[in-house]
Amino acid sequence: MRALLGLGVVLALAACGGSSSGSGSGSGSGSGSGSGSGSETPVASGEDEGFDDTGTTTASSPIDHGSQSPHQLIGVHAPSNPSWAEMNAEAREWYMVGVFLPIEGESFAHYDASRFSQFECENCHGDDARANHFAMPSRSLPPLHAPGSPQWTQMAAGPAYAFMHDTVVPECATMLGMQPYSAEHPDGFGCFNCHPHAQ
């Protein structure tokens, strides 16, 4: 779990343009040197009383991963231990935030950068995700008609279907430790794991 948390922090820093090198320093009193802003928060009087840092060492600098993408840093793979099925709700949330979201966010941004420049939990789970316990299929996603119907055939001819079929379904299936839906795997991960059925 700590590895996922650490990975989430690294990804958040990378997404926000953070790096392990700074261009200035602050003294705690608000006066900085170099090109920093000098606006570091001063330590309140007595705030560090009772803290003994004798024998401690300075933390090493964070690892600089450069400009690697989530696909390169994390990779698309099944959770090892515990598996998705064995995870409790908290572990699933950490896995979604630390692994699933960065990978799918990047995939959706590659598909349509203007539409998916900000990819969040709500993109799939809806605005009421937490209240609905992140239940899937999501009522916030477009309902899909049955395979073989005229509406399905029309949808399957479009670029969104190709992206979902060729990228999203295989990635999601793998990251959940499932097979993609197929005739050989009718219980595999497919469109209707996320999208509701149209009436």
pLDDT digits (tens, 9 = 90+) for 18-55: 443 434 444 444 444 444 444 444 545 555 555 555 66
Q: CA-based angle 178:164:88, to the nearest 5?
A: 35
pLDDT digits (tens, 9 = 90+) for 78-102: 998 899 999 999 999 999 999 999 9
Neighbouring residues of 174: CB distance < 8 A, sequence distance ≥ 6: 76, 77, 78
Q: Which helix (H) or strand (E) holds 25?
A: strand 24-26
* Res 67: pLDDT: 79
Which residue would you say has higher pLDDT here, 66 or 83?
83
Write down the pTM of the prediction.
0.66
Collapsed DSSP state (helix, strand, coil) of residue 93: helix
Cα 170 off chain centre by: 17
